[in-house]
Each structure stands twice: as C-alpha cells, then as structure tokens.
Amino acid sequence: QRVEFPMSSNEYSFHLACRQWELLDKGVHKHIFNFDKDIMSLDENERVTSRGSLNVHHCDDTNMVISFTRGPFLFVFNFNPEVPYQLYRVGVDEAGEYQLILNTDETKYGGRGELKSSQYMKKTSDRRADGCRNSLELALASRSAQVYKLVRILRI
C-alpha cells in the first residue's frame, strides 16, 4: 500500500497519508516504537535535555566511540558496526556508582541483549582517563548507545 505525505505533487491531499498502526506490532517498527517511548519517558522523568550543556570528553575515531556527560548522566555511543568492547575505559569527573538506565542493545529495541543485569551498576576507579580523575570500564555492544546515571557519589 502506498503512503504519501501531503505535498505540492498531490495538491496537499491527505488521501494517501494514512497511519498504519498495525506495523507497531512487527519487527523493526515495534523496536523503534519501544525505543522512542522509553527515550521520551526517560526525558520526562529525568529532564535530561534541560540539564544544561553537554560536555564531550571522549572521542575515539579509531574505535568509533564517543561519550559525553550532561548533569549526572553519562552517554556512551559505540558506532562500530562490527566490534563490541568488553572493558572499554571512559573518563568521568565524579567518583561514584553509575547505573545503566538505557541500553539500546536490549532485545526490546532489536539488540542482541549481550549486557547482563549484573553489569548494570558500575563503580568508578581512580585511574585517570580522558583528562578526568576517575573512569569506568564498560561493556559496549557494537552499534549501541548507553545512558548511565550517577546514583551515588563517593568521596575519596
């Protein structure tokens, strides 16, 4: 079935601009809908987008990994289409415990679900990385994004 958005070539008609809600129950559409719903819920509950400017502190072109912080949140992206990382070190300024609150590799988003629930809480080490005093060692699936939240600050 053809779906066409209103535009000059169809005289701005809505006749073919129909929503096919049944697609949300299948494959990639279901996974994208689940992700969209959860990312919107995350922002509604945590106000991620209104936490000030972001601080990009890790950009590894060779391994295709980038990370940044925004408020108490750490965002980590592995853009490598083939290589997962088991112990990838990322610097953070604040020593503490970071909880994984969004992982695009979960099966409900179409991922492989490689990260186990025992890996959802991470504690920093005092090893310097990326110009930061502390760091985390993270498991990163290929083509994935993770959002961690600082849930407990440790004073050293």
CATH assignment at residue 112: 2.60.40.1180
pLDDT at site 111 = 92
Q: Give the pTM.
A: 0.82
Same domain? 128 vs 90: yes
Q: 85 is in which domain, residue-wise?
A: 53-153
pLDDT at site 110 = 92
CA 19 to chain centre: 27
Same domain? 65 vs 18: no
pLDDT at site 56 = 92
pLDDT at site 39 = 92
What is the tens place of the pLDDT at every residue in 103-114? 999 999 999 998
CB neighbour list of residue 8: distance below 8 Å, 6 or more residues apart: none
- For 73, the token pair is 């949140």
Same domain? 90 vs 142: yes
Q: For the chain, what is the domain count?
A: 2
- For 72, the token pair is 């108490």
- pLDDT lower than 70: segments of the chain: 1-4, 16, 18-19, 156
